[in-house]
């Protein structure tokens, strides 16, 4: 079983819509959860992190964490063409700063 | 604040040749990571340093890969000899290395080195 799983996509949404990305993880001891955005040919850049159950909002992005279900999601509201990228979910598994990444979900926002 | 620096940005070599990558982390970051990212996959951790000590190298193919972080700052990753399957982007990242839920563990990535092995 993979440690971190994401829907591979691609996910296509119209401009202005909400994009919903899902991530599940296998280790119940996971502490912190990160969402990175990676444009084609570029390196990952941090969008936000979350470590408490519930929602965390930052601008147009909302991360949702449900530790009981071992599930973390990212919502992108009012999607823009500039949001077209691959979104990587990463999980801190051992509380030693090591991150395990999912394979990413590719999002395309149609103008 | 300057970000993570890496060089070279691109490298093309033939199989069985050797190659080295360099990384300079964000100033003050104690933890440094090297990742391998194959096209279509997420980054895979190769090695993690805390200051100049190795914390985790369980996924480093030690028969051909080596890495060092002298003086706890810059790091080099070497492949010798390279194989076709080593073609990937090699990402260096750094983090503060202090425990602070989320913030201290956040990793910042350099631009990466694209390696093509022919």
- Tell me what pLDDT residue A9 has: 81
- Tell me what pLDDT residue A94 has: 56
Q: Which portions of chain B are predicted below pLDDT 50?
A: none
Residues A101, B97: C-beta atoms closer than 8 Å: no
Residue A83 has phi, psi (to 5 degrees) of -85, -5
Residues B99, A92: C-beta atoms closer than 8 Å: no
- Residues of B in Cβ contact (< 8 Å) with A100: 45
Residue in the structure block whose two tokens are 């147009």: A60
- Tell me what pLDDT residue B89 has: 97
Cα–Cα distance between A33 and A71 in angstroms, integer? 10
Token code pair at residue A100: 């395990």
- Tell me what pLDDT residue B1 has: 64
Residues B44, A101: C-beta atoms closer than 8 Å: yes
- Tell me what pLDDT residue B10 has: 97
- Tell me what pLDDT residue B35 has: 97
Closest-CA residue to A100 (of A32, A17, A7, A21): A32
Say how many CB pairs under 8 Å bridge A and B: 60
Sequential pLDDT tens for chain A (111 residues)? 668 999 878 999 999 999 999 999 998 888 889 999 999 999 999 999 998 899 999 999 999 999 999 999 999 999 999 999 999 999 986 556 788 999 999 999 998
- Tell me what pLDDT residue B61 has: 95
């Amino acid at each position: 079983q993979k440690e971190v799983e994401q829907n591979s996509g691609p996910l296509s949404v119209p401009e202005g819509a909400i994009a919903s990305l899902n991530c599940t993880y296998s280790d119940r001891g996971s502490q912190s959860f990160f969402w990175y955005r990676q444009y084609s040919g570029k390196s990952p850049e941090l969008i936000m992190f979350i470590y408490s159950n519930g929602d965390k909002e930052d601008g147009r992005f909302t991360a949702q964490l449900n530790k009981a279900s071992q599930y973390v999601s990212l919502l992108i509201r009012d999607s823009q063409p500039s949001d077209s990228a691959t979104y990587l979910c990463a999980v801190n598994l051992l509380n030693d700063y090591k991150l395990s990444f999912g394979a990413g979900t590719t999002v395309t926002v149609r103008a | 604040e300057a970000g993570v620096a890496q060089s070279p940005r691109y490298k093309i070599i033939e199989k069985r040749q050797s190659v080295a990558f360099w990384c300079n982390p964000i100033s003050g970051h104690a933890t440094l990571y090297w990742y391998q990212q194959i096209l279509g996959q997420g980054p895979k951790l190769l090695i993690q340093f805390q200051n100049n000590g190795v914390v985790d190298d369980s996924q480093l193919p030690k028969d051909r890969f080596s890495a060092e972080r002298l003086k706890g700052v810059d790091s080099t990753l070497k492949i010798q000899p390279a194989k076709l399957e080593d073609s990937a982007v090699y990402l260096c990242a750094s983090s503060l290395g202090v425990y602070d839920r989320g913030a201290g563990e956040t990793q910042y990535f350099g631009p990466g080195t694209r390696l093509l092995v022919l």
